[in-house]
Structure 1
Amino acid sequence: MKPRISMVSLAVQDLEKSINFYRDGLGLPMIESPPTVAFFDLNGTWLGLCERSALANDATVSPIGSGYSGFNLCHNVMTEGEVDKLMAEALEVGATEVKSPQKAHWGGYHGYFADPDGHLWEIAHNPFGWVGPKDD
């Protein structure tokens, strides 16, 4: 297997509400998608949104579950100020603050928010180097 993740799919309760949050709120670029899903281009990876019951049915598992799902998504930025700015922008468009931006035990600076379906996003500044793919 080649070492890459081509898409992250999130199960959502209300597809239109989630599209509004990610496209209109956070400003992620939505690409042409079938009517039952939404795809966003994340500079080499896609974010996919699909109704929870449909995604669970496709995987042949139960759609019932709650609590920590065992993963979170992380968006790395260049400065602590960018962490604060992005957190404020996310909260303004409907995210729920889970952990306010603060110094991290590993030496960086980060905070967490949850999207309308409770998916956790970490916004982090890593002073040790890697922030992700370089923007054009």
Structure 2
Amino acid sequence: MSTRAMAQQLSLITLGVADLAVTHAFYADGLGWAPTLYVPGEVLFLQVGPGMLLSLWSRAEMDAEAGATAPAVGRDGSAPVTLGHLTGSPADVDAVLAAAAAAGGAVLRPGGRRDWGGYSGYFTDPDGFRWEVAHNPGFVVAPDGSVRIGTVSNGPGE
């Protein structure tokens, strides 16, 4: 019998945002993501994968219900969290970064080859939440959005 009190799953990521209308404009209008539920001034839910919702909640509403928290910030002042979006190719990484910039996001780092063998870049949304957009040749993304980790090759001489 397992002593685990909580199933190993993540169903909902909730981010507190300053201005929900600006957030809606970025994700729905700018990136073209389809809202699952939008309550202006309160919350925006986006289905981001099988069994996974991204909740963008008014920071005032979040603080009122859950209590205010001090922001967890890194040395550079940003939250030490990165959300990830996997793509099928390096060209797709560049296209997503361009779409994020056109929607009002800030590209922190353009797409480029990384030491870990893939290609990635970074942008922030209007609230400063950092997104990594990556093509990892060792990850296989199925049409339903599920991810399988395959064989990773570090090149000749591994």
Q: TM-score, normalised by structure 1?
A: 0.89
By how many angstroms is 1:91 displaced? 0.5
Q: Conserved in 1, the CA contact under 8 Å of 2:71 and 2:79?
A: no
1:69-108 equivalences under 5 Å are 69-108=79-118
Unaligned stretches of 5+ in structure 2? 1-5, 146-158
Partner of residue 32, structure 1: 37
Name which structure has the greater RCO, CA cutoff 8 Å, separation 6+: 1
Task: Give the direction of change, closer, same or farther, for the CA distance of 1:134–1:57 in structure 2 (3 Å limit).
Answer: same
Larger-gyration structure (1/2): 2
Separation in 2, partners of 1:63, 1:13: 15
By how many angstroms is 1:82 displaced? 0.3
Separation in 1, partners of 2:27, 2:67: 27
Identity of aligned residues (%): 34
By how many angstroms is 1:64 displaced? 5.6
* 2:131 maps to 1:121: yes
Residue deviations 1:74-104 (CA, integer Å, cap 9, x gap): 0000100000111111101101011111111
By how many angstroms is 1:10 displaced? 1.1
Secondary structure in 2 aligned to 1:86?
Answer: helix
Q: Conserved in 2, the CA contact under 8 Å of 1:56 and 1:63?
A: no
Letter of the structure 1 residue corresponding to residue 118 of structure 2: G
Separation in 1, partners of 2:89, 2:71: 38
Question: Superposition RMSD on alpha carbons, in Å?
Answer: 1.9
Q: TM-score, normalised by structure 2?
A: 0.77
Separation in 1, partners of 2:44, 2:54: 8
Partner of residue 18, structure 2: 13
Secondary structure in 1 aligned to 2:127?
Answer: coil
